[in-house]
A and B are shown apart, each in its own frame.
Chain A
Amino acid sequence: MAENSVKLHYNVDASDFTVAGQASGAVKKVLKQLGFSADVIRRVAVAMYECEINMVIHADGGEIDVEITPEKIRMIHKDRGPGIKDIEKAMQEGYSTADEKVRELGFGAGMGLPNMKRYTDEMNISTELEKGTVVDMTVLVK
């Protein structure tokens, strides 16, 4: 179904909070134009925004690939950051490794990964210390 898909690519700049959210904002607009339901759009926007913010806070930015088909929306976030030491801990609500500076900005509440999990139907994380992390999320259209 190659013709029935839309592929989008975004670069996420490092350590710039003012531009974080641009990719998720752009995807939201595309999904609206394609006629997806409000629920699907919200889930994609929230999960993607959380991931985008993580890329800015923890990893020096990265790249996002989005593939949209009528059945599902898949978002692959790749960064070149420090990797996640303990994924199990990172998935716990309230657990955060964000530093004081980031918390002062209102981020780093330890809800990022748990929220991504909650809003998506599939989520796979592959991470390697000092190399980077790939977060692969899918929202199914039901």
Chain B
Amino acid sequence: MSAEKTNLLYHSVCLEQDLCKGCTTCIRLCPTQAIRVQNGKAKIIRERCIDCGECVRRCPYHAKKVVSDGFDALSQYKYNIALVAPAFCGQFSKATDINVILTGLKKTGFDDVFEVARGAEVITQKTREILAEKKNDKPIISSACPAVVRLIAVRFPSLSENVIPLTSPMEVAAQMARKEAREKTGLSDSEIGTFFISPCPAKVTAVKQPLALQKSDVSGVISVKDVYIRLAHTLSGMTEVEKLSVAGRDGVRWARSGGEAEALGIKNYIAVDGIHNVIKILEELEDEKLKNIDYIEALACVSGCTGGPLNVENEFIANSRIRNITEDMENAQVKADEDISLFWDKKVDYQPFSPLDSDMGEAMRKMALLEEIYQRLPQLDCGSCGSPTCREFAEDIVRGKAQEKDCIFRLREKIEMLAKEITEISKMINE
């Protein structure tokens, strides 16, 4: 297996075996049909999972966990910087001023803080330039949401050329923060730690195993919920607020859905949020049904990054706060130094779901069998077999990963038939 092939195999989303009751809620909600329930436990198909966190959000037993770094990771570095996404600022009712959050966060154990919104401003500016030079009528898809980029890699490889090959605001911010810290402290790069406070598992994966970068400039990822209580305590006792925020309106409004596209100042865009909605739009794009669209902002979470599954606050309340914060804000002067790299530096290995068979003739035979099996199934999509739908179940059978008797309705029919046969045989014996 090549290095690229393992690309999609690292996952921040994992199953907590003991907590899983095998209830099948997750299998039906997974946007890439990446989960099956086998022997009473959910099983994530690694090649299909995009770490969007939909299952983390929806599991009634909290059996899906996200593996991220803890505060102890800070001890590896001499100087630690928290990379704060604008969406984080919507988490606290006290934060009518971003400086309050930044000051508080610094006190929780960081030497400095850096706003990811500043990275967003740089990306916005670069995207404007790319849009101005665009000559074809192909819509550009934002690459800001790592779950969406992975979704395209596994489900929509034909749209790969539409994805803007820019790195994320988080990566830009990490580079800028490192540079500032080196100049300020005289430390070497390896002595500086950059920690992203993440609202979602997709960002964890984007750092641990980037899809389109050789290496991430982010040292670690701490989840919002792990920071939340620490910060809430700090905020309650805090009296003085440092003036730390320098980001402007265009950067901060990336926090909520629509903000990234609004910042571009263009007319013909679509801003779609929620992974299932994103899929619908990408299907439309793939079928050439979208006309006169220049840009597609696509975010996996409903409401945008404020809707991330690792957040604590309700996303609509958070968005309201972000709107209030950005309302009177000015735009910042944006300037990224030449040595900050903005583009992807690794070719993305697009890995569509594998066909039924590598030999098309054989795939056809399996497809005919799949159809035949599907027609026999109850087509209720009840999920009792452990596959998301009857169709997926039929596919699992022809792929040799399930058996028809796993369908409770088919099993019942078979038992009835068997019972009849036994009755008939016993009649014959008695005659």
Size bracket of the B interface = 20 to 34
Among listed B187-195, B204-212, B339-347, B356-364, interface-contacting one: B356-364
Task: Tell me if B416 is interfacial: C-beta within 8 Å of chain A.
Answer: no
Shortest C-beta distance, A116 to chain B (Å), equals 13
Query: For the complex, what is the distance from the CA of A15 to the CA of B187, rounded to whole Å?
Result: 69
**Cβ of A33 and Cβ of B288 under 8 Å apart?**
no
Query: For the complex, what is the distance from the CA of A30 to the CA of B158, rounded to whole Å?
Result: 16
Residue numbers in B under 8 Å from A69 (CB-CB): 364
**Cβ of A32 and Cβ of B364 under 8 Å apart?**
no
Partner of B287, one of A24, A33, A34: A24
Task: Tell me if A94 is interfacial: C-beta within 8 Å of chain B.
Answer: no
Task: Tell me if A46 is interfacial: C-beta within 8 Å of chain B.
Answer: yes
Query: For the complex, what is the distance from the CA of A78 to the CA of B368, rounded to whole Å?
Result: 23
Return the chain B residue nearest A69 by Cβ: B364
Partner of B358, one of A3, A33, A35, A42: A35
**Cβ of B367 and Cβ of A34 under 8 Å apart?**
yes
Task: Tell me if A18 is interfacial: C-beta within 8 Å of chain B.
Answer: no
Query: For the complex, what is the distance from the CA of A41 to the CA of B159, rounded to whole Å?
Result: 13
Residue numbers in B under 8 Å from A8 (CB-CB): 371
**Cβ of A38 and Cβ of B367 under 8 Å apart?**
no
Task: Tell me if A5 is interfacial: C-beta within 8 Å of chain B.
Answer: yes
Partner of B356, one of A7, A33, A46: A33
**Cβ of B288 and Cβ of A42 under 8 Å apart?**
yes
**Cβ of B158 and Cβ of A33 under 8 Å apart?**
no
Residue numbers in A under 8 Å from B158 (CB-CB): 38, 41-42
**Cβ of B287 and Cβ of A45 under 8 Å apart?**
yes
Shortest C-beta distance, B280 to chain A (Å), equals 10
Task: Tell me if B283 is interfacial: C-beta within 8 Å of chain A.
Answer: yes
Shortest C-beta distance, A42 to chain B (Å), equals 7
Task: Tell me if B243 is interfacial: C-beta within 8 Å of chain A.
Answer: no
**Cβ of A4 and Cβ of B157 under 8 Å apart?**
no
Residue numbers in B under 8 Å from A6 (CB-CB): 364, 367-368, 371
Shortest C-beta distance, A69 to chain B (Å), equals 7
Scan residues 172-225 of chain B and give those whose CB is less than 8 A from a CB of chain A.
none
**Cβ of A32 and Cβ of B286 under 8 Å apart?**
no
Query: For the complex, what is the distance from the CA of A134 to the CA of B358, rounded to whole Å?
Result: 34
Q: Which 6 A-B pairs have the closest CB atoms?
A: A35-B355, A38-B158, A70-B360, A6-B367, A34-B363, A4-B361
